[in-house]
Amino acid sequence: MKKIDTILFDLDGTLINTNELIIASFLHTLDHYFPNEYTREKVIQFIGPSLHDSFSGLLPDRVEEMIDMYRSFNHEKHDELVEEYETVKETVKALHEKGYKLAIVTTKRSDTARMGLKLTGLEPYFPVLVGIDNVEKVKPDPEPLLKALEQLGSSPERAIMVGDSQYDVLGGKNTGTLTAAVAWTIKGREFIEGYGPDVMLETMADLLSFLGEDSRG
């Protein structure tokens, strides 16, 4: 196996804690169309797939309208509800300084994803970001991962995909990269372990250990 020198990160629930923002955005939207029908527990199932996929299963004729309502609320509350995960910034900074090629692969729109990176101070480390508006198909299809790898000048056998959902793990497997799952996933550690990631990260700093790097220098 070639040395891993490329890391593809999911964004939401992986690098930045957008769980409360996403849950609030879904509840706001769904309560408008289905008053008092959806609880916090029920909307967790919608985290991971694209908004289009989530909403098309509910009201196929009003998907774009629902997406607009979700995004409007999401942008309005973004800076108020987004939080950082411990060791993420230090780990990403260390990887950048060690020369790793870094990219974001997300089912968010790229402009919204940049908002999160900017808010948490991560933007300088990610020259490549592949959002839902940059692809025809989303994870677990390999297209977005391959697009990121191409822009970085890298290849699957040199890369690892890091994420918090089954779509990230399956996307990595379908592309031919190694895969890392984060133990802080809102879907639960056991759920994500069931998809067989190559490594489970207790904190993001564990990624340095997995790659054989000393986190101190």
Identity of residue 113 = A
Distance CA 215, CA 217 (A): 6
Closest CA to 16 of 209, 182, 156: 182
Angle formed by the axes of helices 19-33 and 63-81, to 10°?
140
Q: Are 164 and 181 in contact (CB under 8 A)?
A: yes
Q: Which of 10, 12, 164, 206 is catalytic?
A: 10
Q: Report, in angstroms and rounded to the nearest whole number, the Rg of the chain calculated over CA atoms.
A: 17
The contacts of residue 79 (CB under 8 Å, 6+ apart) are: 115, 119
Distance CA 19, CA 70 (A): 14
Q: Active-site residue 31, yes or no?
A: no
Residues with a catalytic annotation lie at 10
